[in-house]
Amino acid sequence: MSQDQTSSDPERSTENKSLLTGTIPRRAALTVVLLSLFAVQPVAAQSNAVCSADNLPSMIEGFFQLTTALGIVGLAIVWQADSLIEMFTLNPEQKKGLKRHKRSAMKSAVVLVVLGPLYTVAGSMMGLPLAQCVDLVPW
């Protein structure tokens, strides 16, 4: 009789499934966090290989400056191309799409320009070893 009761109650079976699917990812996430806290400690205590290398910090800085410059140039090209296409577009829906694309390109460029200085300032405040020897300010 108890088997008939559990098979006829679909809410109870979905409730058990959601409990199982909810607790397993939480346990896995907790395990990963705890392992990373204890396993990363010895790695963080070692000397920074990036700062001790001869040309690596300057190469990282140059790469970041190059990618930032290319991103800004890409923004200018996308902006001008979208503006040119927008002049010859008569459909209002297409114009809205082009304006959205221009806005998206602008957001990407702002993130690209702000990310380096933000990491440099926040990394030095938090004492991150890479921020001590690599300056990611693109100007």
What pLDDT score was predicted for residue 40?
53
Which has the closest alpha carbon to 138: 67, 56, 54?
67
- What does pTM read for this prediction? 0.56
Angle between helices 92-126 and 56-87 (to 10 degrees): 160
Lowest mean pLDDT among 33-37, 64-68, 74-78, 101-105: 33-37
Instruction: Check: CB of residue 124 under 8 Å from CB of residue 131.
Output: yes
What pLDDT score was predicted for residue 73?
93
Instruction: Check: CB of residue 82 under 8 Å from CB of residue 102.
Output: yes
Exposed e or buried b per residue across 44-67, where buried means at least 16 C-beta atoms within 10 angstroms of its C-beta: eeeeeeeeeeeeebeebbeebbee
